[in-house]
Amino acid sequence: MSTNTATAVLLWSCPDEKGLVSRLANFIYEHGGNILDLDEHVDRSAQTFFFRVAWDLDGFGIPLDGLDEAFRPLATEYGAQCSIRLNTQKRRLAIFVSKYGHCLQEILWRNELGEFDAEVALIISNHPDLGYLAERYHIPFHMLPVTKENRAEQEASQLALIDEARADTIILARYMQVLSPQFVARHPHRIVNIHHSFLPAFAGGNPYKQAHERGVKIVGATSHYVTDVLDEGPIIEQEIIRISHKDSLEDLIRKGRDLERLVLARGLRLHLQDRVLVHGRKTVVFD
């Protein structure tokens, strides 16, 4: 899909019934839209229809500020959940980090290449170690140390910074803190995390140590949305690599770093391109 023209993306889910693809595609066609990309999926066990369509807005007959209102009667008719985003509405990212820099560097590098077509609005950390990367990329860096005693106060400061920067997507790039349910509730399905294991295996802390002690033959990484239950959010992207009895714990960590940065980047790209629909504890990913 070309990024040189104004386009819209519709994400849609509703109870399944016949004719949904035709009805939605014809609605776009009848208003002068040229469909560029279309994908759909039916979860037969849940009898739920999932749909993603992108179309060219050149000559489209509905004013851009009226798109939501125009689709509302259809959504009401089918009992649908839907969202529409224009590619001109560039996402603004807030990246949370601690001391590990590999995931942060991957995101900043790919965004500099134009892969994400987003703006990194700010970087927030509980340590000063990665401030040099923010300085290199001319990104505001905020160091807010977190302890048990000041956690609520620091989260309030973080949320204020996010609001001030108008950030709409939060990335936990190996941020070694657990966010409170109140924080997560402010940004539902907009917090993308990287966990250094193939979830649901080895959730929680020290997953490489857990994997090494268990003698597994593969390790993995998982990009997922954050919920108020640790490491159980809907999964966006995963990858694995084989290991053997010869690999030390340090080898697992070294190999895992490559997976972490790639899986987070892939998951973030899918989110930013509106290719992920959340359905309960699962996702439908139109890649």
pLDDT for the residue 230:
84
Q: Residues 43, 231, 247, 251: which is the catalytic one? A: 231
Task: State how far the Cα of 163 lies from the Cα of 154, in Å rounded to an integer.
Answer: 14
pLDDT for the residue 1:
44
Helices (H) and strands (E) in the chain, counts: 8, 13
CB 50 within 8 A of CB 40: yes
CATH 3.40.50.170 positions along the chain are 92-285
- Higher pLDDT: 89 or 237? It is 237
pLDDT tens-digit readout, 37-86? 999 999 999 999 999 999 999 999 999 999 999 999 999 999 999 999 99
- 141 membership: H or E segment, kind and range: strand 141-143
Query: Is pLDDT at 242 greater than 70 in this prediction?
Result: yes
CA 199 to chain centre: 16
Query: Is pLDDT at 5 greater than 90 in this prediction?
Result: no
Annotation says 231 is catalytic = yes
Q: Which residue has the tokens 């966010």?
A: 179
Give DSSP secondary structure letters for 29-92: HHTT-EEEEEEEEEETTTTEEEEEEEEE-TT-SS-GGGHHHHHHHHHHHHT-EEEEEETTS--E
For 7-86, CATH number out of 3.40.640.10, 3.30.70.260, 3.30.230.10, 3.40.50.2000 equals: 3.30.70.260
pLDDT for the residue 208:
87
For the entire predicted model, the pTM comes to 0.93
Task: State how far the Cα of 40 lies from the Cα of 54, in Å rounded to an integer.
Answer: 12
pLDDT tens-digit readout, 107-157? 999 999 999 989 999 999 999 999 999 999 999 999 999 999 999 999 999
CATH 3.30.70.260 positions along the chain are 7-86
Domain 92-285 has CATH 3.40.50.170: yes
Task: State how far the Cα of 67 lies from the Cα of 55, in Å rounded to an integer.
Answer: 12
pLDDT tens-digit readout, 162-209? 999 999 999 999 999 999 999 999 999 999 999 988 887 878 878 888
Helices (H), the chain: 20-30, 67-78, 102-112, 131-136, 151-165, 181-186, 207-214, 249-272
What percent of the chain stands above pLDDT 90?
85
Task: State how far the Cα of 234 lies from the Cα of 270, in Å rounded to an integer.
Answer: 13
Phi and psi, residue 282, nearest 5°: -115, 175
pLDDT for the residue 4:
60
Task: State how far the Cα of 122 lies from the Cα of 124, in Å rounded to an integer.
Answer: 7
CB 38 within 8 A of CB 87: no
CA torsion sign for 60, 64, 67, 69 is negative
Query: Is pLDDT at 223 greater than 70 in this prediction?
Result: yes
The end-to-end CA distance of the chain, in Å, is 12
The C-alpha angle with vertex 50 and arms to 73 and 1, in degrees rounded to 5, equals 95
The mean per-residue pLDDT over the stretch 223-229 comes to 94
